[in-house]
Amino acid sequence: MMDYVLASRTVNRYYCSKCWGHLTSYHAETGYTVQCDDCGPGQGFVTKHYVEQERQKDMTVSGDTKRMLQDIGIIENPHKDKPVKDLLKELGF
């Protein structure tokens, strides 16, 4: 159980450690509990800062992977055979 201040702070600063979703605080008889609505009670929390860092890393990795797969020819680069003139036109020049 938490008091109101701690429960609000937890909701503001942490996400669910399982799904990284928002937390909700509930008023119970002896204080407040905080939990994820999707995963229910008993999940840990992670800081929002941590989640944002991890999401940033994911985006960087997926960008790199796409480029690498295009380089080795596993996924088609949609602009591969286009002349520079057409590419510039698509970019608005």
Positions touching Zn ion (CB under 5 A) are 16, 18-19, 21, 36, 38-39
Whose Cβ is closer to Zn ion: residue 35's or residue 70's? 35
We find the least distance from the C-beta atom of residue 39 to Zn ion, in angstroms, to be 3
Task: Locate 50 and state its tokens.
Answer: 């941590």
Whose Cβ is closer to Zn ion: residue 41's or residue 92's? 41
Whose Cβ is closer to Zn ion: residue 2's or residue 46's? 46
Of all helices (H) and strands (E), which one includes residue 85? Answer: helix 84-90
Whose Cβ is closer to Zn ion: residue 20's or residue 70's? 20
Handedness of CA 39, 40, 46, 50 (dihedral sign): positive
We find the least distance from the C-beta atom of residue 21 to Zn ion, in angstroms, to be 4
We find the least distance from the C-beta atom of residue 34 to Zn ion, in angstroms, to be 11
We find the least distance from the C-beta atom of residue 61 to Zn ion, in angstroms, to be 23
Close Cβ partners of 19 (under 8 Å, ≥ 6 residues apart): 36, 38, 39
